[in-house]
A and B are shown apart, each in its own frame.
Chain A
Amino acid sequence: MSSTLPLSRRLRRAAWVALFLGLWAPFKIAWEQKIAHEQDFLRYQSVTITRELRDQLGQGLTIGVLGGMRSIVADFIWVVNVTQAWEDEQWFKMDGLINLCTSLQPRAVTFWDVGGWQLAWNTSVSAAHDLKQPDVLRRLRASRFWIDKGLEIYQRGIENNPQSWRLWAHTGLLYQQRLQDYRTAAYYYQKTSELPDAPVFYERFPALMYGLAGDDQAAYAAWAALWQRLTPEQRTQMEHIPTPPDLVKIRHLEQKLFIPKEKRIFPK
């Protein structure tokens, strides 16, 4: 039943299609550019398939990424490859894979958060206790190397997700527990407490960190600021607790720093 169309009819069809597409094409390009600009502004299109990324992914996973399955590919690498590298104690491979996952999904906080923790805690502790390395100094240097790697992951995570209280808090925790740099930890905890959805207890952390750093003036200022922010009801509630730790600290610092009575929160 089917036969070849006459040339005039084919030309007419092609002309109609060309006319239609010719009219649509400029609108299409302009609309797509607008969407792309919106997405740039919202920081969505942060992944480009570079040759390096393609080499790391391999052919199969690259097709997955090109097919729009970026998050699944990242999850797959995380669940299968990162876990395997962790179990085999292949730390450099694990570091590379964590970076690959964060490159594929820079706005997924979990990858930054858990990735930083894996390197700064698990890997660095493992390196510090690596019995294959008899030299203690080398072990400590390796441990510090992985702490810095974890810190780098956290800091890049914060650059990509500045509103994530979790990343700010865990960077603070790293400075506090792994580097014993309490002043910097106080800065990160302060930032944490200013973010929406952060647990309320982080408000107290900067004061605690200044205390650990031995900076009693800064610690007192932080405690006092915290006290000033409380509502009268909250203050009454605090005073009814048998030995409220925050109030004990404020009283102790007021005595230790010889704060004049008229400037004290608790003159008595």
Chain B
Amino acid sequence: MIPSLFRIFVIGRNTLIEAVRQKVLSVLLIFGLILVGSSVYVSTIATPGLDAAGLFDEQIKFVKDFGCGAIELFGFAIALLSTAQLIPQELHNRTVYTILAKPVRRAEFLLGKFFGVILLLALAVMLMTLAFAASLYWQETVGFNYVRDIYDQHMPANWQNNPQMAAQYHHDIQDIVNKVQDPQLIKAILLLFAKMVMTAGIALLISTFATSSIFTIITTFMIYLIGHMEGMAREVWLARGAETSIWQSGLTGLISLLIPDLNSFTIVDEILAGNHVPWAHTLNLLGYAEVYLVVLLAVSIIIFDFREI
């Protein structure tokens, strides 16, 4: 067991090093970091005429939405591109023969490769999260300045000496801190990461029988889109009646049984809008992603084990 884990770890580490050396992924990561950082700029394009409190609310929403959106978009692109070329590249470079000629099982090779992708995604998400945190910190400073300006301009000169006004000022500052340093954002990042890993798992499964990276990329992208509508297909399939044709039933059934429900992960939007999402629900979704990933990996291993290379 331990030698097997060691082999998976070594392959994973090498996959990460190879991925980091690839210019495409590095460029994607750099663009991701730039986009996350530029969410601060996007937030300045706000509704004209808003008062400071409304302006801050709008700006913090934009920073959160664009920051997490950039993490999701570039994380998706990195997951897709890095996984899609894992096996085709090994086959094209013929390095797979060298590795499999050694006492390395195909399952270990596949898991090692996927482990490398997970490490790469973790690294990318970590860096983009740091840029996101910096954007939020900047926005928090802007918010503090807004509040101070309001009190200095609209309150009596000695407002600090009035205990009720001072208490309200601290309430307003705390309101900003609560919105910016929202511990729920950890849940959002975890859910985004889980969605990326699931996407990588789908790409890995397709690449085990695909003959080109392009096919894997296009098919995974389509599954990703369909995954956001799986909930609707499932509802139609479960509620099918006499008026449902056999084709409708068959198609919605196939989607419901095979495609993951990626739309459930859009609760990240609710977290970003400041609504409470319980940890129990987050863990339920993370558990779903994990189990689905195990299934994807198991099927990938079965297909790859039988593949003639």
Contact = CB atoms under 8 A, between A and B. Distances in A.
A83 B295 contact: no
B72 A68 contact: yes
Contacts of B163: 237
Interface string B72-84: 1100000000000
B266 A20 contact: no
B158 interface: no
Contact of B275 (A25, A45, A107, A113): A107
B272 interface: yes
Contact of B288 (A3, A31, A109): A31
Main secondary structure of the interface of A (DSSP, over half): helix
A69 B42 CA distance: 16
B48 A86 contact: yes
Nearest to A26: B257
B243 interface: no
B263 A68 contact: yes
B263 A199 contact: no
A32 B168 contact: no
A263 interface: no
B231 A71 contact: no
B299 A35 contact: no
Interface string A227-243: 00000000001000000
A117 B302 CA distance: 59
B225 A66 contact: yes
A27 B306 CA distance: 26
A201 interface: yes
A2 B263 CA distance: 38
Interface string B237-275: 010000000000000000011100111111101101111
Contacts of B195: 68
Interface string A140-182: 0000000000000000000000000000000000000000000
A28 interface: yes
Contacts of B275: 107
A49 B281 CA distance: 24
Given A16-B302, A35-B264, A83 B47 contact: yes
Interface stretch (A36-44, A130-138, A214-222, A248-256): A36-44
A56 interface: no
Given A1-B309, A20-B299, A39-B264, A28 B292 contact: yes
Nearest to B73: A69
B175 interface: yes
A12 B305 CA distance: 11
B40 to A, nearest CB: 14
Nearest to A41: B281
Interface string B272-284: 1111011001001
A42 B279 CA distance: 13
B54 A63 contact: no
Nearest to B306: A13
A137 to B, nearest CB: 27
B76 to A, nearest CB: 8
A139 B57 CA distance: 33
B305 to A, nearest CB: 8
B285 interface: yes
A55 B72 CA distance: 26
A72 to B, nearest CB: 4
Name the residue in A83, A114, A117 with the highest tally of chain B Cβ atoms < 10 Å from its Cβ.
A114
Given A44-B270, A82-B47, A83-B48, A32 B65 contact: no
B98 interface: no
B171 A199 contact: yes
Contacts of A36: 231, 234, 261, 264
Q: Lowest 7 A-B CB distances belong to which pairs?
A: A13-B306, A72-B69, A25-B257, A108-B273, A71-B269, A71-B65, A32-B261
26 contacts: A2-B309, A3-B308, A5-B308, A10-B306, A21-B295, A25-B258, A27-B291, A29-B238, A29-B257, A32-B264, A35-B261, A36-B234, A48-B232, A66-B228, A67-B225, A69-B69, A72-B66, A72-B69, A75-B42, A79-B46, A82-B47, A83-B47, A86-B47, A109-B273, A114-B50, A117-B54
Interface of A: 1-5, 9-10, 12-13, 16-17, 20-21, 24-25, 27-29, 31-36, 38-39, 42, 44-45, 48-49, 63, 66-72, 75, 78-79, 82-83, 86-87, 105, 107-110, 113-114, 117-118, 122, 197, 199-201, 237
